């Protein structure tokens, strides 16, 4: 049996977005990231729930908004050493809820349009999944020093050979002195 706190901590999947705007609903809740199939396919592993802190509201110009942030951790392939690297992912967003393209075009540029269906329903999980996907790094790597990548043929822990190569900026500086 699911405990009460667990049920409350889960972000609802499908919501009446227009109604939630009228009551200025806020959520501080998680999505089980293993259930987000597009995210699961885009990364090696999902190692944390997607934590969402979001609020529905109407701004002073009467735009219907979904604002907030989400964060999670995923395992991706380091593009330098091809080993696994755990990447923290965080996204902040200001989404404008619209019914159609015409409304989307009328939104101020600072809001990203998100379409609700004709009944004002929104797949909240899918919207949050999009935000996480957009925040994934194009070129994931370990932090400097943690990476196992070694230059082929180079001796570890020495950069002497690199230092002896002419620096192109030094060459330019000498040319300018003449
Ligand atoms: Zn690496």
How many Å lie between the centroid of ligand 1 and the Cα of residue 132? Answer: 22
Percent above pLDDT 90 for the chain:
76
pLDDT at 171 over 80: no
How many Å lie between the centroid of ligand 1 and the Cα of residue 72? Answer: 20
How many Å lie between the centroid of ligand 1 and the Cα of residue 44? Answer: 14
How many Å lie between the centroid of ligand 1 and the Cα of residue 154? Answer: 17
How many Å lie between the centroid of ligand 1 and the Cα of residue 130? Answer: 26
pLDDT of residue 106: 94
Distance CA 174, CA 156 (A): 32
pTM of the model: 0.79
Read off the pLDDT of residues 49-59 as tens digits, 9 standing for 90 and up: 999 999 999 99
How many Å lie between the centroid of ligand 1 and the Cα of residue 165? Answer: 25
How many Å lie between the centroid of ligand 1 and the Cα of residue 77? Answer: 8
Counting Cβ atoms within 10 Å, is residue 123 exposed (0-12), middle (13-18) or buried (19+)?
Answer: middle
Give the chain's domain count.
1
pLDDT of residue 60: 94
pLDDT band at 177 (very low <50, low <70, confident <90, very high): low
CA 72 to each of CA 29, 51, 66, 130, 163: distance values in angstroms, whole numbers, following the listed order: 12, 6, 19, 13, 40
Give ion ligand 1 contacts, CB < 5 A. Answer: 78, 80-81, 142, 147
Distance CA 114, CA 130 (A): 11
The residue-averaged pLDDT of 123-142 equals: 97
67 C-beta neighbours (distance < 10 Å), count: 17
Structural domain boundaries enclosing 53: 4-177
Counting Cβ atoms within 10 Å, is residue 17 exposed (0-12), middle (13-18) or buried (19+)?
Answer: buried
């Amino acid at each position: 049996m699911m405990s009460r706190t667990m049920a409350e901590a889960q972000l609802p999947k499908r919501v009446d977005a227009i109604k939630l705007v009228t009551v200025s609903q806020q959520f501080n809740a998680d999505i089980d990231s293993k259930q987000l199939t597009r995210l699961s396919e885009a990364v090696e592993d999902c190692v944390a729930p997607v934590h969402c802190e979001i609020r529905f509201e109407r701004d002073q110009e009467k735009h219907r908004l979904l604002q907030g942030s989400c964060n999670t951790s995923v395992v991706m392939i380091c593009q330098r050493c091809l080993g696994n690297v755990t990447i923290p992912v965080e996204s902040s967003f200001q989404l404008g809820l619209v019914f159609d393209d015409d409304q989307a075009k009328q939104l101020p540029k600072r809001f990203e349009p998100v379409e609700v269906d004709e009944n004002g329903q929104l797949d909240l999980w899918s919207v949050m999944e999009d935000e996480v996907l957009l925040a994934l790094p194009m070129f994931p790597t370990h932090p400097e020093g943690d990476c196992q990548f070694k230059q082929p043929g180079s001796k570890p822990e020495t950069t002497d050979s690199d230092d002896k190569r002419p620096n192109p900026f030094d060459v330019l500086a000498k040319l300018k002195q003449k």
